[in-house]
Structure 1
């Protein structure tokens, strides 16, 4: 996504709470989510790696990936197929979950 591109169609969104913290905060949040590799049984029990927590400027954030169909109307029938799936990465404060 950040370094070498991403082979999967997708969109990155941030909540209004994250956006209101300013451009530097948003940039830090996107970078933190992009480079998050902390997956354990406690925070990723199914091994999907589609949810995580990061800290930006001392603030805890969640990031979550949802899988939509190519038209972005419904959930994807096959999230592993890039031709059928549009991913949406949302970055938010825990209080906005």
Structure 2
């Protein structure tokens, strides 16, 4: 499919996918204090699950832009994109779009020439 045939939402979704898969290169990454306080192995696993996240549904992605997701840690300590029966922690990730100077919201998130993405990873309790 050519770039001209993509919908605006699909162009944004592809740019958001690139941001997640190339954190720190294709976007600015911010981890909240709660995430930074987690053990290093948990932080690493969270980043890995954000990079590979593919559990988009109408509930968590109503506009088809793939800009939000939830990741869960079960009582057994295992992190997953699927909600376990017993949840110990929930983390959210969210991509926001800004102008190139990161001062205002982007006028056109589908245009990478005028948009910078910021990916925030936070504990649900910090929301």
Give the TM-score band, short-chain normalised.
0.7 to 0.9
1:24 aligns with 2:30: no
If each structure's strand is expressed as a fraction of its own residues, which one has the higher value? Answer: 1
Q: Partners in 2 of 1:5 and 1:39 — Cα distance?
A: 19
TM-score (norm 1): 0.85
Per-residue CA distance 1:21-43 (angstroms, 9 max, x = gap): 13222111111111110011111
In structure 2, stretches of 5+ residues that fail to align are 1-17, 79-88
If each structure's helix is expressed as a fraction of its own residues, which one has the higher value? Answer: 2
Deviates more, 1:14-23 or 1:52-61: 52-61
1:69 aligns with 2:99: yes
Residues paired across the two proteins, number: 95
Q: Partners in 2 of 1:46 and 1:10 — Cα distance?
A: 20
Q: What is residue 14 of structure 2 aligned with on the other side?
A: none
TM-score (norm 2): 0.67
Larger Rg: 2
Alignment RMSD = 2.1
Q: Partners in 2 of 1:13 and 1:35 — Cα distance?
A: 17
